[in-house]
Structure 1
Amino acid sequence: MAIHESDDALVQRYLDHVRFEKRLAARTVALYTLDLEKLATHAAQVGVPLTAVEASHIRRWVAQMHSGGRSGRGIALILSGWRGFYIWLGREGLVAANPVLDVRAPKAAKPLPKALSVDDAVQLASFQAADADPWLEARDAAMVELLYGGGLRVAELTGLDVQASAAARGWVDLAAAEAHVLGKGSKRRIVPVGAKAVQALRAWLLVRDQALSGVPAAAAAGALPQAALFMGRNGTRLTAQSIWQRVRQRSLQAGLAAPVHPHMLRHSFASHVLQSSSDLRGVQELLGHANISTTQIYTRLDFQHLAKAYDAAHPRAHLKTGGSGGSK
């Protein structure tokens, strides 16, 4: 549909403004051009010039774009371009009000966190690397068990010490089978530690201090042996980045289809506990979420699990719709 001539002139003047006066990048100008062509087309379809467009028109066009499958983020970018155009028209004295000013794009659907299947999570937690360094193997196995078995954030894991102390951010009490962690907002919580994690931690603690034999005597005379539960060969506390790398490497060695990061194990923990218990409030407390709305996203993960189980197992899920095989 051809753009109304006067509208075409206005659009061109604005594009010249952003190209030459504002000196925007050519790519940005090209995007503005496409967005304003859409605007002019919408306006022509309802028979109004661009200078007579109202907020009700904008909202209707936003609804059309959304129902047509355009994402909330994409619509927000288009609205931003339109908003700038009407700001310029206002400065030129061509419109009395900006019809895009108070119009917002639909909220983008929050993506579901990636979680492993139960089988993949168990495969990773049970994995034992062949011919691996026994020290690294014991440490990495204990880290994975805690991340998946307790749903810890990676920062909570790095903050764990071997023993409780006034200075400790967190520690593990193996006798009580629980981890004391310092979460977001400096909030402390106690997380149950499963039998497999306790077993893995005991195995790690048996070999943990072997690394200290290679630390220079000057360092050993200081703060060593380190308080950190998980440390590197040099005796220093592991960083979050190091743990991400080790978990990723271990997941690939275990034969998982895609690399795993520590937060994926936290998501998997939450999803699997919720699948088994349906106790949303309990999962909230285990994860240390301040608001239950944050935890509710795992109910969507749980529904996905149920939907897949239905599609795989229920005879009615495989029936074709339509045709002559309908119920009578």
Structure 2
Amino acid sequence: MPSSGGPPALVAQYLDYVRFEKRLAERTLALYTLDLVKLNAQAEAAGVALTDVAHHHIRRWVMQMHSQGRSGRGIALILSGWRGFYVWLGRQGLVPNNPVLDVRAPKAAKPLPKALGLDEAVAFADFENEADDPWLEARDAAMVELLYGGGLRVGELTGLDAAPSPSAKGWVDLAAGEAHVLGKGSKRRIVPIGKTSVAALEAWLALRAEGQGAEMSKAMFLGRYGTRLTATSVWQRLRRRSRLAGTATPVHPHMLRHSFASHVLQSSGDLRAVQELLGHANISTTQVYTRLDFQHLAATYDKAHPRAKASAADKK
């Protein structure tokens, strides 16, 4: 039978228990109340008592919540409240087992990596800060070229040495147009870099020796006092550069890597090649860029196709 207002007796007893025994905050108690009232409503709709709810009921209700747009995190919080309620019922000897046990909320979809649009990425890479110190400008321009032109991770960038050696983690062969890097899992790979990147590196290396302590450092990219540039410093310099360039979104190193992968995939459609360029051990890691590519295609369709425009007009 449907309840006549307020939580049913078992739910009210449990709420009293958590209020006084666990001393839950009022906000938490209010959320527990809402979730358990929802549980009771689901049970009533299914024609079962709260003590007769089974594992398959819980799973069906989770799927219903998910299909209605409830987030995985929201469902997980609801399940946590339900699980605690059935633990208490079990201690009272009112249920033989916990129907919420081993039921998990759907995993939230991984957010897409942020990438710059093609025109925006090219404009950012082409930006010249004429007001900056020429030494810093040459260094930062070379960093941008390697991050966007080669898809390097920031750790791979900062690990580069100015010249190859047995102890070097990475270096750039300008004559061959290749960057030799040490990636995740200590895996080495060779990344091709274009003429623009080579030119930017040559310009930087011509000025690099002017930095204090540069002759004592093996690092390709240095701070003003001759120490190897850190990942944090690269983040800060890119953020500053994106602000000066007027980029709509603050740029960080991994955004340039994502942009590199997305734009290569858009042009070539070769997922395996992008996997090799990025140094991904598994193709599934690279497949996220197919979603980025689809978003780009969908946006282009919405803007350009007359039927898409017609559909948009019909919705108004």
Find 1:292's aligned residue among 280, 283, 287: 283
Kept after mapping to 2: 8 A contact 1:4/1:44: no
For residues 260 and 156 of structure 1, the distance between their equivalents in structure 2, rounded to whole angstroms, comes to 18
The one-letter code sitting in structure 1 at the alignment partner of 2:72 is G
Aligned residue pair count:
314
Find 1:277's aligned residue among 250, 258, 268: 268
| Alpha-carbon offset, residue 3 of structure 1 | 4.1
| Alpha-carbon offset, residue 209 of structure 1 | 1.8
Q: Name 1:326's counterpart in structure 2.
A: none
Instruction: Give matches, 1:121-140, under 5 Å.
Output: 121-140=121-140
Instruction: Find the residue that maps to 1:320 and give its secondary structure.
Output: helix
Q: Name 1:40's counterpart in structure 2.
A: 40
The one-letter code sitting in structure 2 at the alignment partner of 1:196 is T
Find 1:267's aligned residue among 224, 239, 258: 258
For residues 178 and 236 of structure 2, the distance between their equivalents in structure 1, rounded to whole angstroms, comes to 26
Q: Name 1:77's counterpart in structure 2.
A: 77
Structure 1 residues 91-115: Cα deviation after superposition (integer angstroms, max 9, x where no partner): 2211111111122222222211111
For residues 97 and 277 of structure 1, the distance between their equivalents in structure 2, rounded to whole angstroms, comes to 55
Q: Name 2:221's counterpart in structure 1.
A: 230
- Is 1:49 equivalent to 2:49 in the alignment? yes
For residues 46 and 253 of structure 1, the distance between their equivalents in structure 2, rounded to whole angstroms, comes to 61
Q: State the superposition RMSD in angstroms.
A: 2.1
For residues 175 and 216 of structure 2, the distance between their equivalents in structure 1, rounded to whole angstroms, comes to 22
For residues 10 and 40 of structure 1, the distance between their equivalents in structure 2, rounded to whole angstroms, comes to 10
- Larger CA deviation: 46-55 vs 268-277: 46-55
| Alpha-carbon offset, residue 26 of structure 1 | 3.7
Kept after mapping to 2: 8 A contact 1:7/1:50: no
Find 1:307's aligned residue among 276, 279, 298: 298
Distance 1:6 1:86, change over 3 A: farther
For residues 301 and 322 of structure 1, the distance between their equivalents in structure 2, rounded to whole angstroms, comes to 26
For residues 20 and 71 of structure 1, the distance between their equivalents in structure 2, rounded to whole angstroms, comes to 31
For residues 192 and 308 of structure 1, the distance between their equivalents in structure 2, rounded to whole angstroms, comes to 30
The one-letter code sitting in structure 2 at the alignment partner of 1:299 is T
Kept after mapping to 1: 8 A contact 2:135/2:207: yes
TM norm structure 1: 0.90
- Is 1:253 equivalent to 2:244 in the alignment? yes
| Alpha-carbon offset, residue 42 of structure 1 | 1.2
For residues 57 and 195 of structure 2, the distance between their equivalents in structure 1, rounded to whole angstroms, comes to 62
Q: Name 1:14's counterpart in structure 2.
A: 14
The one-letter code sitting in structure 2 at the alignment partner of 1:271 is S
For residues 124 and 90 of structure 2, the distance between their equivalents in structure 1, rounded to whole angstroms, comes to 60
Structure 1 residues 52-78: Cα deviation after superposition (integer angstroms, max 9, x where no partner): 111121122112111111112211221
Structure 1 residues 297-316: Cα deviation after superposition (integer angstroms, max 9, x where no partner): 11111111111222222222
Distance 1:180 1:321, change over 3 A: closer
TM norm structure 2: 0.93
For residues 189 and 60 of structure 2, the distance between their equivalents in structure 1, rounded to whole angstroms, comes to 48
Kept after mapping to 2: 8 A contact 1:162/1:171: yes
For residues 164 and 20 of structure 2, the distance between their equivalents in structure 1, rounded to whole angstroms, comes to 65
- Larger CA deviation: 304-313 vs 185-194: 304-313
